[in-house]
Amino acid sequence: MVSLSGVLLVITDGQWDVLRNLNFNQGDQMIFTGMFAWSAYTFFSQGIGRWMPVIPYTFLGMLSGATVIGVMCAMTPNVHPFGEVITASPITVSELLYIGVLGTVAGYLLWLNGVRHLGSANAALFFNFVPVFAVLTAFLMGQAVSQIQVLGIAIVVAGLLLPRLPHPGRWRLALSRSA
């Protein structure tokens, strides 16, 4: 709840009337659907990760995703991704490779290892970093970040660190054992 309140501060910039007048456009709906799908992926990957190693599982995920995208491109007459890549500049091709290899494949491998070690419930807490990194990216691109958003980022981080802090009850137990 602490991290979620920080997320709300980051998203709304502290203007709570934004929540009251919430209106979902098509992009918002797509983001929500993507996050829902990612949640399902995280939940089910924990079970699959018990019997299938991470690298083959990631390969199958990438292959199935590429297949769906390929079919969608084939069904859309004005989309020609291979032609666009062939005519693209070397910098653009290197950017595509960077996004594909580091942003996608490495990201999936790291996420699946996190789910394997933390469990899906604990790994899902890190969804709260999505708006934090969106704000940080916007800042790096020259957009202003408000003090409320910085406070929200701090609350998100605090919410994720809070369960890791030693509990006073455990201190008393540890002190009584050492005495």
The predicted-structure confidence for 53-99, as pLDDT tens digits, reads as follows 888 888 888 898 889 988 988 888 888 888 888 999 999 999 999 98
Give the residue carrying structure tokens 């590429």: 66
Question: What long-range pairs does 104-107 form, CB within 8 A, spacing at least 24?
Answer: 104/62, 105/58, 105/62
User: Is 27 inside a domain boundary?
Assistant: yes
Helix and strand counts by DSSP (H, E) for the chain: 11, 0
- Choose from 17-31, 56-70, 110-124, 162-176 the range with maximum mean pLDDT: 56-70
**pTM of the prediction?**
0.61
What integer pLDDT is reported at residue 131 of this predicted model?
82
User: Is 124 inside a domain boundary?
Assistant: yes
Domain range for 137 is 2-162
User: Is 130 inside a domain boundary?
Assistant: yes
User: Is 18 inside a domain boundary?
Assistant: yes
User: Is 174 inside a domain boundary?
Assistant: no
What integer pLDDT is reported at residue 73 of this predicted model?
86
Which of the four pLDDT bands, split at 50, 70 and 90, describes residue 179? low
Q: What pLDDT digit, counting tens, does each position of 143-178 carry? A: 888 888 889 888 888 888 887 777 666 556 555 665
Is residue 12 within 8 Å of residue 19, measured between CB atoms?
A: yes
User: Is 179 inside a domain boundary?
Assistant: no
Instruction: Please report how many Cα atoms fall inside a 13 Å half-sphere around the Cα of residue 71, on the Cβ side.
Output: 5
162's tokens? 């809070």
User: Is 13 inside a domain boundary?
Assistant: yes
User: Is 16 inside a domain boundary?
Assistant: yes
CA distance 16 to 51: 45
Structural domain count, the chain: 1
**What would the mean pLDDT of 101-124 be, rounded to a whole number?**
84
